[in-house]
Amino acid sequence: MTTATARVSRHGSTTAKPSRDAKARERALAWVRRAPLLPALIFLIIVTQLPFVVTLAISFMNWNSLSPETTGFAGFENYVQVLTDPYFLQAIVTTIVMTVSVVLASLLLGLGLALLLDKKFIGRGLARTLLIAPFLVVPVAAALIWKHAILNPVYGLINGTLTWIWSLFGSDTPPQTDLLSSAPLLAIIISLVWQWTPFMMLILLAGLQSRPMDTVEAAQMDGATPWAIFRHLTLPHLRQYLELGGLLGAIYIVQNFDAVFTLTSGGLGTANLPYAIYETFYYANEYGLASAAGVVVVIGTIIVATFALRTVFSLFKKEAAR
Rounded Cα distance, 149 and 275, in Å: 24
Sign (positive or negative) of CA dihedral 42, 44, 45, 50: positive
DSSP 100-117: HHHHHHHHHHHHHHHHHH
| Residue 54: CB atoms within 10 Å | 11
- b/e map of 81-104 (b: 16 or more CB within 10 Å)? bbeeeeebeebbebbeebbebbbe
Contacts of 243 (CB under 8 A, 6+ apart): 311, 315
Strand duo 72-73 + 61-62: pairing = antiparallel
Interaction of residue 171 with another protein, rule CB under 8 A: no
User: Which of these ranges, 17-25, 97-105, 180-188, 197-205, lies near another protein under the rule CB under 8 A?
Assistant: 197-205
User: Which of these ranges, 74-82, 83-91, 177-185, 200-208, lies near another protein under the rule CB under 8 A?
Assistant: 200-208
Interaction of residue 79 with another protein, rule CB under 8 A: no
Least gap, CB of 233 to another protein (angstroms): 6
User: Which of these ranges, 15-23, 66-74, 85-93, 108-116, lies near another protein under the rule CB under 8 A?
Assistant: 108-116
User: Which of these ranges, 70-78, 83-91, 100-108, 202-210, lies near another protein under the rule CB under 8 A?
Assistant: 202-210
Interaction of residue 9 with another protein, rule CB under 8 A: yes
Find the binder of another protein among 5, 13, 19, 48 (CB under 8 A): 48
Which residues inside 211-230 make contact with another protein, applying CB under 8 A?
211-215, 217, 220-221
User: Which of these ranges, 69-77, 97-105, 177-185, 249-257, lies near another protein under the rule CB under 8 A?
Assistant: 249-257
Least gap, CB of 82 to another protein (angstroms): 13
CA 293 to chain centre: 19
Q: Which is nearer to another protein, 95 or 184 (CB)?
A: 95
Find the binder of another protein among 23, 33, 67, 93 (CB under 8 A): 33
Least gap, CB of 183 to another protein (angstroms): 18
Rounded Cα distance, 42 and 307, in Å: 26
Interaction of residue 170 with another protein, rule CB under 8 A: no
Whole-angstrom CA distances from 189 to 18, 51, 128, 184, 298 are 61, 31, 23, 9, 22
Rounded Cα distance, 278 and 295, in Å: 13
Interaction of residue 27 with another protein, rule CB under 8 A: no
Least gap, CB of 199 to another protein (angstroms): 7
Interaction of residue 173 with another protein, rule CB under 8 A: no
Find the binder of another protein among 83, 160, 224, 268 (CB under 8 A): 160
